[in-house]
Structure 1
Amino acid sequence: MTLQTMRAFLSTDVSLSNEQILTYYSKRWAIETYFRTMKSNFSFNGYQIRSTVAIKRFWTLLSFTAMFCSVTGHGDILTGLRSWQNKKAESRIEFVYYEAKAGTQLDLIKNQLQAA
């Protein structure tokens, strides 16, 4: 065992055995990483909602989106998210290409993409 592989787990419940602490921690770890993913990739921490109903609705939408990304990413939320982000980028590029090919003015394309 090296210093890089050593881990320390603390618990305020002194009645728990080492195995119980590790079991609880391993279950909790999945929850922590899920919330970190939701905050950093799905902007969960970017909204300030005050009503309980709005929070529940927003959380429901985020949970559905995460589930959808997980299914399309073959079990990995971030793989699914990256796939949809790539598809969106490809769609925008195709839109610009076909509009330019049709002779649409650049200012109009920018306006349609809300980039102007």
Structure 2
Amino acid sequence: MTIGSSDYRVYRYESKLNVVENAALLLCYGEGFDPKQMRAFLSTDVSLSNEEILSFYSKRWAIETYFRTAKVRLAMDQKKYDIIEYIYNQTQGGATLNQIKTQLKVA
């Protein structure tokens, strides 16, 4: 299959995947079947062709990478910061490690 100016081998697996009743999983390889170059794409709409699934992903890829970068670079994801601050405050108040683990439900 050709996407843009690149050729890929695409293998489709269609079945139940964990909690998804029916899904299409596309495994895409460039030349040489290098595992480091493999990409996997999942669609819950099994009526879509391989070309349609990959076309949708090619359009969404820039959007997804933008939001990931924004979360990391612009600190839009405050969860880690909040957890660190919570742990610090608890230790300052005399809480033990076991008490903190219990509160965070990781004990």
Report the TM-score when normalising by structure 1: 0.36
Question: Who wins on radius of gyration, i.e. which is larger?
Answer: 1
Higher relative contact order (CA 8 A, sep 6+): 2
Report the TM-score when normalising by structure 2: 0.39
